[in-house]
Amino acid sequence: MLVLMTKDGAELSVHPSTVAEHQRLGWGVVSSVAETDPAVGDVELTDDELRAAIEAATGKAPHHKTGRAKLLEQYAAAQGGSAA
C-alpha cells in the first residue's frame, strides 16, 4: 500500500496498481505502508490470505468488505505488532 497526498494535504492509502492513475490526477506519493507501520513490513499476502491469517490468529474473520489497509492493520495487530 502507498499513501498518496493531494496539493491540499488530503491523504489516501491506495494499492500500488492504482498509483499511476492517482499521480495523473495530481496526487503525490508520500510513503508506503512499510514506512508508515514498521510492524507490517513487506507483506506479500493476498487479501484472502490476510483474512485467513487474521481469522486463525483471532478466531474471528474480518468483514468481507474490509479494505486492504484495514486488513494490514489487523494482520499487524494479530502478529503482535502495533496497528495504526
- The predicted-structure confidence for 2-54, as pLDDT tens digits, reads as follows 666 666 777 767 777 777 777 777 777 665 554 445 445 556 788 888 888 88
3 and 23 together in one domain:
yes
| Structural domain range at position 9 | 1-36
Number of Cβ within 10 Å of residue 32's Cβ equals 15
Q: What is the mean pLDDT of the segment spanning 54-72?
A: 89
10 and 30 together in one domain:
yes
48 and 83 together in one domain:
yes
The cell for 28 is 503525490
Are 34 and 13 in contact by the 8 Å Cβ rule? The answer is no
The cell for 34 is 512499510
